[in-house]
Structure 1
């Protein structure tokens, strides 16, 4: 009887040991904690699932921190995201998620170097009156319009207003007083309706005085006496490096400065040619015109010489702007 009881006791102990071993094995394999599904089942309580997920995430963060602490200092620094430009991304479309794309800066065009435009040469077209000629090198040449004084610039403005046909010329310097710093080639007046032949080389102030004389005195006088306007004014001398009357030993003429002009003939629109010379006994209109022009010209010029003064001025009028110390004018 006692042996039967001991056998039953041992069998029960063996069964309990097998159950304990089985339970321990199942627990070690993860079968003891069965996760509930996260499906929405209405008003059921999901707090158990949320706590399970939270605990799992915290365990993952802890493991990651342990790995970072145990890693060497330069291990994670080498895994920094790579920075690529937009062109590199276009060439490599299969880019990793941790790649940072930096857009390329816009290309700015290099500014063009500025250079002074080269002016066209002066035109011989008389219709372009009142405009200066071309300037080839406005920086290297001191005689250009950029170097003109205020009076020279103002003078040219007045010539344009009067309709004088002129062009700029290169500076003239023939030595001594034979020079014009800013010479003009004058070919007409009244916007080209009155021509000057041949073209005269003068300074600006002499050109301005002559243009005023033509407009204010000569043109009205010819209309009054001949009922016709002026077609052409014929000049005998403008700039010329010489002495007075081309006589040796005399002072230099105002012609050597471009400050004088000689007129020998005037042609009217009706074809009448008026010679500047001592008229005959019965040339009443010619005598009256020449006398009037000669006397009134002293309002425009400082020197007026003509037929009857001497043998050197018997065939032309001489006009100039000579500056005398006492301000005297010579009208003879």
Structure 2
């Protein structure tokens, strides 16, 4: 059975072909959707095709690093590493706080992650986290607190089974946000209910589903009750 990535690539090829044909016929609506081959930038509004467009731009390591540089994202490449038979990290680097036009930083700072994850984080931070906080909370985000990126382990720390995306530094767990007015929004505390904080968290979860290959929230299971699991790749899992 073809793997998920192969299916996604074929879908992308089919979409691009459809765009070429219908675009030639003067279908401006397809251009508005991003199906005309335009590159995606860190300022492009998030939409249903964001993940596809982003991965088309950053699918190769050199292209990914060039995309981050053009976006003004501080990303310092690190040496590939293999800690165990299933803990192999390649094309990774440390993600700095700097993104042109933003003051949001990560805590802990400068986590190691794959280039594709860094690109997805840049798009989500600029296109979702920042504007959603201003709209729903009336404040800017100053810090995003995370529980880690790289961890040499299998899913749920089991002794056998599939390796976690964290074993490839391809996923980050976001736990909360520090705002410019001193408030802190916590996934564990504020996810339930219909408060402004809950609406903010659900908005950025929904946007993340269009940027990351896998997005898991407290709605998924108890193991994710205190964070948003954001994993780069084609995927398509959103809970």
Deviation, structure 1 residue 265 = 1.2
Alpha-carbon distance in structure 1 between the residues aligned to 2:116 and 2:188:
27
Q: Specify the alignment match of 2:84 in structure 1.
A: 175
Structure 2 Cα separation of the partners of residues 171 and 268 of structure 1:
35
Partner of 2:106: 196
Q: Return the TM-score normalized by structure 2.
A: 0.69
1:221, distance to aligned residue in structure 2 (A): 0.3
Quick check: 1:200–1:235 contact (8 Å CA) kept in 2? no
| Equivalent residue, structure 2, for 1:155 | 64
Alignment pair present for 1:262 and 2:173: yes
Indicate the residue corresponding to 1:331 in structure 2.
238
Deviation at 1:248, TM superposition (A): 2.7
Looking at structure 2, the residues matched to 272 and 243 of structure 1 have their Cα atoms a distance apart, in angstroms, of 35
In the other structure, the counterpart of 2:93 is: 184
1:227, CA displacement in angstroms?
A: 2.0
Matches within 5 A, 1:200-239: 200-239=111-150
Q: Deviations over 1:206-236 (max 9, x none)?
A: 1101111111111110010122221111110
Pair 1:273-2:180 in alignment? no
Verify the 8 A CA contact 1:222 1:230 in the aligned structure 2.
yes
SS in 2 for 1:188: coil
Extract unaligned runs of 5+ from structure 2.
1-57
Residue 305 of structure 1 corresponds to which residue in structure 2?
216
> Tell me, what secondary structure is at the counterpart of 2:107?
strand
1:252 maps onto 2:189 in alignment: no
**SS where residue 190 of structure 2 aligns?**
coil
Assess if the C-alpha contact under 8 Å between 2:59 and 2:116 holds in 1: no
Number of corresponding residues: 180
Query: Greater CA radius of gyration, 1 or 2?
Result: 1
| Secondary structure in 1 matching 2:161 | coil
Q: Residue 137 of structure 2 contacts residue 200 of structure 2 at CA under 8 Å; is this kept in 1?
A: no
Partner of 1:218: helix, strand, or coil? helix
SS in 1 for 2:220: coil
| Residues 285-324 of structure 1: pairs in structure 2 closer than 5 A | 285-323=196-234
Task: Provide runs of 4+ in structure 1 moved above 4 Å.
Answer: 280-283
Q: Residues 117-158 of structure 1: CA distance to partner in whole angstroms, max 9, x if unpaired?
A: xxxxxxxxxxxxxxxxxxxxxxxxxxxxxxxx9921221121
Q: Under a length normalisation based on structure 1, what TM-score does the superposition of the two structures give? A: 0.51
Work out whether residues 230 and 269 of structure 1, in 8 Å CA contact, stay in contact via their aligned partners in 2. Answer: yes
Aligned partners of 2:87, 2:213: CA distance in 1, in Å?
Answer: 20
The 1-side partners of 2:191 and 2:74 are apart by 35
Q: 1:276: Cα distance to partner?
A: 1.1
Gaps of 5+ in 1: 1-148
